[in-house]
Structure 1
């Protein structure tokens, strides 16, 4: 619990609090994907690969540019932590912070996932979401968040006063990336980054501003689908918190496998071109 304020409120405190907020990044000028062009292809997709993500583990797979990928709840409510990389250059990776700044705390149909500096471009576009009906609930919770970082063994160690737990999503992603690429564990761990929390239902408490989670509304058959704007290496952990209704980073929660399906489209979306890397010249005024 946070301590009570020790500073006396100034006389104009109410007026200061009453100042209306301004959206940090107005996105009216941001190029938007032609969602109808993507969705026009969905009836003729060819399944080319399936990957099972075991409970409390992670798996890695590739999604070529122009392909669709579905992250499926296959057996029971389960949250997944997703990392995305440029297949040919792992230094270009999903940037959850800037995606959050441009799209909001939770992403869904029509939103794009942006990559890290200096590339900063859309690398995936969400084309279908069977949980788009959820919206925001009375607690301020919603699904598919880009506000949580991923459960990790370092925070677990702090909160458990020395506990050593190796199935946190950070560790799961590290092992899967190392196994898929052949890189050493230490190198793989350095590439693991803040995630898209697939199916996770989260928000911030209104009184203390704390990050909260609640039971995911996902059910077998639900899925989140994205279109690969570039050649992607994807890696997802089936979180050890299961549906994140009570705890994570433990063996107590009921966990389920997740299914990944990669689909080849019969053609590229009409008018589509691969997104170029960001046009900033990189001089930084020097």
Structure 2
């Protein structure tokens, strides 16, 4: 734990050092932009083709062809979901929450993209609609749909509580991926990765810097919508924390199902669109 008071006296120029202006690490002016006008027009033609219900404290997988849309719906009560995404043709290409955070910020909304890891480093999906975009950042510094939390997991839970609990989102996603692919659980677990915390309201405490969660503002009827830039395999866990207003990794919270809806645009609605190519770096690393 951090000491209550600094152990090192402030230098005489402390105020000047603190006053130095920040610099954005990754200026994104040259970042390839999604064609949101095209996506908005395609949204007007969407027709549902399938759906998956994710039970409380469980996870389920779903498939989304490239060029389709999918929505994560709050259906019965406020519920947070932990989302993993893979390129369906190569599960080694998966969502990279850290780089997504570095490019778009701590919380995602319409127009932001979910990037895959190295070496492809390309968009897997683009957020095309968010019924919680009105929330913004609250007085505590909290916002929704974060890429700062990792996912609740049984290892941290055991470390902090000494208890064995098997419905943490990490375990839920592992079971779902194993069931969907036939991979042994140990292999599936290695493919589970840091998540987009859908509907979760989070931030950092200003005094200690600790990651916090608070009751999600999501309500039945809300949804977060994505455009699939690649053929996707997704997995969504209905977090055992419910709305994450009190705790997670337990059976105490009220939990509700989530619904994943897959939608197809009309033929020709995406004329001119092509899946993003893998990153152009030559991979030589100077050797």
User: TM-score under structure 2 normalisation?
Assistant: 0.98
1:222 aligns with 2:228: no
Deviation at residue 159 of structure 1 after TM alignment: 0.6
Deviations 1:201-254 (A, max 9, x none): 000011111100000000001000000000000000000000000000000000
Asked if 1:209 is matched to 2:209, the reply is yes
Show the counterpart of 1:50: 51
Counterpart-to-counterpart distance in 1, 2:15 and 2:37:
47
SS of the equivalent of 2:44 reads: helix
Q: Please, which runs of 5 or more residues in structure 1 have no aligned partner?
A: none
Instruction: Provide structure 2 residue ranges, at least 5 long, that are not aligned to the other structure.
Output: none
Match of 1:26 in 2: 27
Q: Structure 1 residue 43: deviation in Å? A: 2.1
User: Distance between the aligned counterparts of 2:270 and 2:247, measured in 1?
Assistant: 41
* In structure 1, distance between residues paired with 2:271 and 2:28: 24
Q: Distance in 2 between matches of 1:47 and 1:54?
A: 20
Distance 2:20 2:210 in 1: 23
Aligned length: 285
Distance 1:110 1:15 in 2: 37
Aligned-pair CA distance for 1:49:
0.6
Deviation at 1:46, TM superposition (A): 1.5
Distance 1:122 1:82 in 2: 15
SS in 2 for 1:47: strand
Runs of 4+ residues deviating >4 angstroms: none
Taking the aligned partners of 1:259 and 1:83, their CA distance within structure 2 comes to 15
- The reply to whether residue 13 of structure 1 matches residue 14 of structure 2 is yes
Equivalence for 1:190: 190
Which deviations, in whole Å up to 9, do the C-alpha atoms of 1:149-203 show, x marking residues without a partner?
000000001110x210000000000000000000000000000000000000000
C-alpha deviation, 1:271, in angstroms = 2.7
Q: TM-score, normalised by structure 1?
A: 0.98
> What's 2:163 paired with?
163
Q: Are 2:184 and 1:178 equivalent residues in the alignment?
A: no
Q: Alignment RMSD, CA only?
A: 0.8
Cα distance per residue 1:57-95 (max 9 Å; x no partner): 000010000000000001000000000000010000000
